[in-house]
């Protein structure tokens, strides 16, 4: 059984990306299981803090989840046409110490998904992630990407995905990514 880990890159309680991650976790899974994680509790990266106190517990816990997964899906928002600072900060912490980078990221399958109220989904954020994932040594899944535009119209008041076409696209991506990650 392939294990996929979805990580929401938003701290916001009403995040569209967390809602999309929750929708992914609720879909029927064939041949894989889906786990979820977030980036809450990860402080701003500071080399002095790392030297004085080591790696924060929230970072270590997320690292272990990534290591245990066959594939990781970044559910990324897009802020000002780029990667959200809090999400990039979390990945920066996860790459510390640099001697640990290969164990966490090296050869690991990664996919990109994102939801936005805008018309381009998270196209620019996802494109910006590609160079980061390449630098970390990840195997980037390029068969499918999911950029959900006008996402605020696709969820109900409780954050449940109500759009069947988006749910199908999400399910298709998860199934294809699970095959890729299981190789």
**Contact between 114 and 17 (Cβ < 8 Å):** yes
| Number of domains comprising the chain | 1
User: Which CATH number goes with the domain that contains 115?
Assistant: 3.40.50.360
* pTM of the predicted model as reported, rounded to 2 decimal places: 0.96
CA dist 140 and 131 (Å) reads 10
Give me the tens of pLDDT residue by residue for the chain, a chain 183 residues long.
Answer: 999 999 999 999 999 999 999 999 999 998 999 999 999 999 999 999 999 999 999 999 999 999 999 999 999 999 999 999 999 999 999 999 999 999 999 999 999 999 999 888 899 999 999 999 999 999 999 988 899 999 999 999 999 999 999 999 999 999 999 999 998
Give the pLDDT of residue 77.
Answer: 96
- The confidence score (pLDDT) of residue 120 equals 86
Reduce the secondary structure of 38-50 to three states and give it as a string.
CCCCCCCCCHHHH
- Under a CB-based contact definition with an 8 Å cutoff, are residues 116 and 81 in contact? no
Rounded Cα gap, residues 2 and 180, in angstroms: 10
Give pLDDT tens digits for 24-48: 999 999 899 999 999 999 999 999 9
Q: Domain range spanning residue 49?
A: 2-181
């Amino acid at each position: 059984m392939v294990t996929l880990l979805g990580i929401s890159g938003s701290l916001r309680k009403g995040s569209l990306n967390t809602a999309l991650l929750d929708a992914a976790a609720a879909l029927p899974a064939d041949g894989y299981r889906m786990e979820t994680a977030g980036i809450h509790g990860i402080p701003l990266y500071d080399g002095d803090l790392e030297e004085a106190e080591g790696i924060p517990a929230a970072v270590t816990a997320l690292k272990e989840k990534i290591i245990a997964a066959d594939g990781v899906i970044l559910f990324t928002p897009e802020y000002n046409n780029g990667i959200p600072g809090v999400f990039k900060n979390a990945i920066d912490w996860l790459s510390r110490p640099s001697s640990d980078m290969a164990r966490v990221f090296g050869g690991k399958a990664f996919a990109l998904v994102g939801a936005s109220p805008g018309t381009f989904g998270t196209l620019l954020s996802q494109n910006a992630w590609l160079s980061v994932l390449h630098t970390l040594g990840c195997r980037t899944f390029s068969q499918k990407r999911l950029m959900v535009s006008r996402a605020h119209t696709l969820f109900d008041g409780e954050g449940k995905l109500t759009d069947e076409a988006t749910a199908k696209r999400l399910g298709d991506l998860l199934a294809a990514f699970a095959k890729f990650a299981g190789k």
